[in-house]
Every structure is written in structure tokens, then in C-alpha cells.
């Protein structure tokens, strides 16, 4: 397992922690972190494909963690001596999980934790914000150039561990869309607001606010049937959404990007 692969284990723990912390159940959180760590570490050590897929689901009174390493060999727990340092992963899974198993095709190892009653649904939105910065640009032809300049500084200053080139392209797409369609004679504005945020789970959130409260046929724009800007953002790895602002008017177009290899 390379250092780059190993770096994903603490990142995934942080994402899980951000999702489960609102439950205020330290024992569940601790056990879930250990189970996630052991399953992901085992998969990274034995994967036969360039990617490992992780799925965490909360259904009713159960939390299910599944890791697919695309290997058909399937892991097996092995009893270890008291002084051996490795090979304890699935032994811990067997002790901590209420159930665990391997898929029929032997590519996915899963485990289940039974949860106390009354827990709300697991958070699926971005984790709490750790750092943020506001970029304000004029809503004329100079705005896109200024957005380019300030975005590089923002990604670096906020210490986002991800592909800055891809993030720059996503921000460029959102700002271009806002200048082209969000600022019109019917919805004038002297400037646009761009919020760049990094969450505790190292997600990057780019919010571009414009004065136009409507976004007709948004889905067709995202998949490239109408225009290419938001499609490019999606192809760059961003989850794109939009929402009207019922208080201040206008709308916000949001792109959320996950952490990864830092490319400056």
C-alpha cells in the first residue's frame, strides 16, 4: 500500500466523523471509525484494481459499511499470536460489528452496527465548514479575470487538499454561467459574490450567488444537453446544485468537490 493510498484512511475517517458527530453517540462513532479503518486498510492492501469503493448507509436502526476492492479472492480472518502486529483487521471487525460478511462475488466486505433508537438520518450534506473566504467581483467583462486571480489564492490560503486545477475550472464554469445568465437587464447587479469554503471533511464548496432567482432546465444544463459550462464542472468531479434565496432574492449555484491528490 503506497503512502498516497494510506492517506485516504484518515480522510475517510474525518468524513465519517463529520457525518456521525451530530448523533452524540461516542461509542457508535468509535466503533464505526475502527470498522471503516480496518475494512479500507484491508482493501487497499489486497486490491486488484486501481480503485476501492466505499459505501456507508444508514437505514433504520442499522449503519452499514461496505468496501469493494474489486478482488475476487475475498479476505479471511486469521488468528494471530499476541505479539504479531499485522493481520488483526477482520478479527476486530468480528468483535465490534453486529454482523459482517462478504458478497457472493467476494469483491465486497461489509459490516453492520446496530444503532440506538431515535437517531436522526445520517447527514448527507457537506460537513461543517472549517475555513472560508469571500470573493466579490464586478458583474462585467472584468469579473471573470478577477475571479481567476483570486481563486488561486483562495484555494491555497484555505489549504484545500485537492486538485486546484480542476477546482479552478469548476469555479470558472460557475462564474461564467452567472455572468452570462444570472446578470440580465431584468436582474441587474453591480457585483457577484463567490464563497469558497473548506469543510472539516476537506470538501471544497464553491458558491456563486447571482440576482436571477430562476434556473430553467437545470438538469439539462448539468448533463450537457443545454450549454457546456455546468457539464464541464460535473466532468471535473464536482457535484453541482442550485437553490433560490427566499430572503435576499437571487439564487446560489453550488459545486462540491472531494479531497484528493494535491495538484497546484
- pLDDT of 84 reads 40
Q: For 204, which DSSP code?
A: E
Instruction: Report the greatest alpha carbon distance in the chain.
Output: 75
- pLDDT of 74 reads 59
Least confident of 55-59, 73-77, 137-141, 227-231: 73-77
- pLDDT of 178 reads 95
In this structure, the dihedral spanned by the alpha carbons of residues 231, 233, 237 and 243, taken in order and rounded to 10 degrees, is -90
Q: Look at 250 and 81; give whichever has higher pLDDT.
A: 250
Whether residue 86 has pLDDT greater than 90: no
**Which set of grid coordinates corresponds to residue 111?**
459490516
Taking the CA atoms of the chain, what radius of gyration do you get in angstroms? Answer: 22
Pairwise CA distance, residues 257 & 208, whole Å: 14
First to last CA, the chain: 24
Q: Look at 260 and 255; give whichever has higher pLDDT.
A: 255
Helices (H), 81-201: 89-96, 143-157, 164-177
φ, ψ of residue 103 to 5 degrees: the values are: -65, 160
SS3 111: strand
- pLDDT of 1 reads 60
Predicted confidence band of residue 143 (pLDDT cuts 50, 70, 90): very high
Regarding pTM above 0.85, the answer is no
Q: How far is CA 196 from the centre of its chain?
A: 15
Q: Mind giving me the DSSP string for 91-119?
A: HHHHHH-SEEEE-TTS-EEEEEEE--TTP
Pairwise CA distance, residues 209 & 252, whole Å: 4
Pairwise CA distance, residues 41 & 29, whole Å: 18
φ, ψ of residue 24 to 5 degrees: the values are: 55, 45
> Contact 146/137 with Cβ under 8 angstroms?
yes
> Contact 221/231 with Cβ under 8 angstroms?
yes
Whether residue 16 has pLDDT greater than 80: yes
Q: Look at 72 and 52; give whichever has higher pLDDT.
A: 52
Pairwise CA distance, residues 222 & 239, whole Å: 10
- pLDDT of 81 reads 45
Least confident of 60-64, 90-94, 234-238, 257-261: 257-261
Q: Which residue has the cell 499476541?
A: 82
Beta-carbon count within 10 A of 35 CB: 24
Name 133's bridge partners. Answer: 196
Beta-carbon count within 10 A of 81 CB: 6
Amino acid at each position: 500500500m503506497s503512502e498516497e493510498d494510506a492517506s485516504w484512511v484518515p480522510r475517510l475517517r474525518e468524513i465519517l466523523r463529520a457525518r456521525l458527530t451530530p448523533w452524540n453517540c461516542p461509542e457508535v462513532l468509535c466503533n464505526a471509525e475502527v470498522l471503516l479503518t480496518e475494512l479500507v486498510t484491508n482493501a487497499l492492501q489486497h486490491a486488484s484494481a486501481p480503485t476501492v469503493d466505499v459505501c456507508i448507509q444508514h437505514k433504520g436502526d442499522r449503519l452499514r459499511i461496505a468496501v469493494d476492492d474489486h478482488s475476487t479472492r475475498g479476505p479471511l480472518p486469521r488468528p494471530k499470536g499476541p505479539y504479531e502486529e499485522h493481520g488483526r483487521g477482520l478479527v476486530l471487525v468480528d468483535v465490534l460489528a453486529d454482523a459482517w460478511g462478504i458478497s457472493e462475488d467476494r469483491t465486497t466486505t461489509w459490516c453492520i452496527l446496530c444503532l440506538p433508537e431515535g437517531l436522526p438520518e445520517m447527514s448527507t450534506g457537506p460537513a461543517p465548514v472549517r475555513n472560508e473566504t469571500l470573493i466579490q467581483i464586478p458583474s462585467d467583462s472584468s469579473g471573470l479575470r478577477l475571479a481567476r486571480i483570486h481563486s488561486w489564492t483562495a484555494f491555497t490560503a484555505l489549504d484545500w487538499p485537492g486538485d486546484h486545477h480542476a477546482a479552478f475550472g469548476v469555479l470558472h464554469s460557475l462564474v461564467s454561467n452567472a455572468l452570462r445568465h444570472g446578470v440580465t437587464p431584468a436582474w441587474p447587479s453591480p457585483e457577484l459574490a463567490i464563497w469558497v469554503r473548506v469543510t472539516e471533511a476537506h470538501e471544497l464548496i464553491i458558491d456563486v450567488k447571482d440576482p436571477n432567482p430562476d434556473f430553467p432546465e437545470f438538469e439539462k444544463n448539468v448533463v450537457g444537453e443545454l450549454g457546456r459550462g455546468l457539464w464541464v464542472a460535473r466532468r471535473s468531479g464536482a457535484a453541482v446544485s442550485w437553490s433560490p434565496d427566499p430572503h435576499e432574492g437571487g439564487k446560489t449555484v453550488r459545486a462540491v468537490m472531494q479531497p484528493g491528490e494535491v495538484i497546484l
